[in-house]
């Protein structure tokens, strides 16, 4: 009898064990496809990798299918490289892993390439003739605009989640919020991210990048009554030709609010503060007074609370 019991256990236990193994769930939740980048842009190269580390047993073969067709050259490869299509055209990637015992598990990923462009427009000072873009400085206001696929996708039916250094702006997702403003925090770099989803929560695009802040910098320009502001900066020194010269100080990247309402703004000549009677406090007229020589002209502008919102510099004038 004991032999019968032994025989019974010998036959049933392995099958029981097999059932137990199936019930461990090889299913899709333990196999996934990892894309890099996660949200490929249109017409770019990306990789798809098999993430099967959560499977209880190791697969003995890997097959890849792209848009229903098997990539035989990628058999048993853990990673493949693909080219995304144009905007609006999906790529369906399927991964099939065969396990010992003949079972298979599969995972699927759909790549819908979209351009998500973040246009950063710092509200900092640059002169009108300046053809470049202003840069952010600590404490300055930044406007950011998101454009998906050149604006073909309307923002009104999308949810936008903006994060600055990981913290959600506007307290979370906001419908149609394709533009946002924030103050540049302390630190040389800040991380700005945006996730755009449909109203039902499907992620359309996501972007994360580091935004660099710079220190305000000063440039001096001659002001001509005939031509206006000369566009060549005073480098090193200025020679006074004639009886007088007007010079403008341009504090690049100073927050516009501070530029318009500075708490500290002063001109000095050879260390002596000047009473500037010019209509524009950023301009000064220097006259030789019939004498000759060299003087040092300095300019300083700053906020009294946000001390990093400020800049000072100097130049020499020969007269």
Partner 1 sequence: MKQKTLIIGGIIIILILLFVWVYLLFFSTPKDPSQVFTDLGIGGGEETGIVIPPEEDPIDTTVTNGLSKLRQLTTKPVAGFVEIPATNTIPAYVYYTEAGTGHIYKIDPMSGNEERVSNTTIAEASYASFSPSGNYVAIRSSNDKRSEDITVGKLDLETGSLVTESLSGQIEDFKIVNNSELLYSSREVSGLVGHSYNLNTKVKKDLFTVPFYEAVILWGSTGNSSHYVYPKSSYALEGFLYEVKDGTLNRLPLEGFGFSAKANSDMVLYNKISGDKASSYIYDRQANVSRPLDAVVVPEKCYLLKSGFEFVCPFENTTIPFRFPDEWYMGKMSFKDSLWRLDADSMTGEEMVDTFAESSREIDITGLDFYPDSSTFYFINKNDNTLWLYEI
Footprint of partner 1 (CB under 8 A): 41-44, 87, 115, 117-121, 127-135, 145, 147, 149-152, 178-179, 209, 212, 214, 219, 221, 224, 226-233, 235, 252
Least CB distance to partner 1 at residue 190 (A) = 13
221 versus 319: smaller Cβ distance to partner 1 = 221
17 versus 209: smaller Cβ distance to partner 1 = 209
96 versus 164: smaller Cβ distance to partner 1 = 164
Dihedral over alpha carbons 277, 279, 284, 285 (to 10 degrees): -70
145 versus 276: smaller Cβ distance to partner 1 = 145
Residues with Cβ < 8 Å from 170, sequence gap 6 or more? 162, 177, 180
Least CB distance to partner 1 at residue 191 (A) = 14
Least CB distance to partner 1 at residue 132 (A) = 4
Instruction: Give the integer Cα–Cα distance in Å for 259 and 282.
Output: 10
Q: How many residues does the chain have?
A: 319
Residues with Cβ < 8 Å from 53, sequence gap 6 or more? none
Least CB distance to partner 1 at residue 274 (A) = 22
120 versus 265: smaller Cβ distance to partner 1 = 120
Least CB distance to partner 1 at residue 230 (A) = 8
Query: 3-class DSSP state for residue 20?
Result: helix
10 versus 128: smaller Cβ distance to partner 1 = 128
125 versus 300: smaller Cβ distance to partner 1 = 125
Say if residues 47 and 79 touch (Cβ distance below 8 Å). Answer: yes
Q: Can you spell out the DSSP letters for 137-203?
A: -TT-EEEEEEEEGGGTS-GGGEEEEEEETTEEGGGS-EET--EEEEE--SSSEEEEEEEEEETT--E
The β-bridge relationship of strands 104-111 and 283-287 is unpaired
Least CB distance to partner 1 at residue 128 (A) = 5
Least CB distance to partner 1 at residue 298 (A) = 18
Taking the CA atoms of 123, 126, 130 and 135 in sequence, report the sign of the dihedral they define.
negative
Residues with Cβ < 8 Å from 37, sequence gap 6 or more? 46
Counts of helices then strands in the chain (DSSP H, E): 2, 24
Query: 3-class DSSP state for residue 8?
Result: helix
217 versus 306: smaller Cβ distance to partner 1 = 217
- Beta pairing partners, 315: 297
Of the candidates 76, 73, 80, the residue with the CA atom closest to the CA atom of residue 46: 80
Least CB distance to partner 1 at residue 269 (A) = 23
Joined together, the tokens standing for residue 146 give 């998101």
């Amino acid at each position: 009898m004991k032999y019968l019991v032994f025989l019974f256990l010998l036959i049933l236990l392995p099958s029981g064990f097999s059932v137990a193994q199936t019930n461990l769930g090889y299913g899709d939740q333990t196999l996934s496809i990892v894309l890099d980048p996660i949200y490929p842009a249109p017409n770019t190269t990306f990789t798809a990798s098999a993430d099967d580390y959560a499977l209880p047993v190791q697969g003995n073969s890997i097959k890849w299918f792209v848009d229903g067709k098997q990539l035989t050259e990628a058999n048993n490869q853990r990673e493949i490289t693909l080219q995304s299509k144009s905007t609006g055209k999906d790529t369906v990637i399927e991964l099939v892993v065969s396990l010992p015992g003949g079972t298979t598990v599969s995972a699927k990923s759909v790549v819908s390439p979209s351009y998500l462009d973040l246009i950063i427009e710092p509200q900092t000072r640059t002169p009108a003739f300046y053809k470049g873009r202003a840069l952010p400085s600590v404490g300055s206001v930044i406007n950011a605009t998101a454009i998906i696929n050149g604006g073909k996708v309307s923002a009104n039916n999308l949810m936008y989640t903006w994060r600055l250094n990981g913290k959600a702006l506007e307290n979370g997702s906001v419908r149609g919020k394709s533009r946002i403003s924030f103050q540049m925090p302390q630190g040389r770099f800040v991380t700005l991210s945006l996730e755009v989803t449909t109203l039902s929560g499907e992620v359309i695009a996501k972007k994360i990048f580091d935004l660099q802040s710079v220190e305000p910098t000063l440039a001096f320009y001659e002001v001509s009554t005939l031509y206006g502001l000369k566009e060549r900066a005073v480098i090193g020194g200025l020679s006074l030709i004639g009886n007088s010269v007007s010079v403008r100080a341009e504090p690049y990247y100073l927050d516009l609010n501070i530029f318009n309402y500075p708490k500290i703004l002063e001109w000095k000549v050879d260390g002596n503060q000047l009473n500037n009677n010019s209509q524009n406090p950023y301009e000064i007229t220097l006259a030789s007074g019939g004498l000759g020589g060299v003087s040092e002209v300095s300019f300083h502008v700053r906020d009294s609370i946000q001390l990093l919102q400020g800049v000072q510099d100097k130049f020499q004038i020969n007269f």
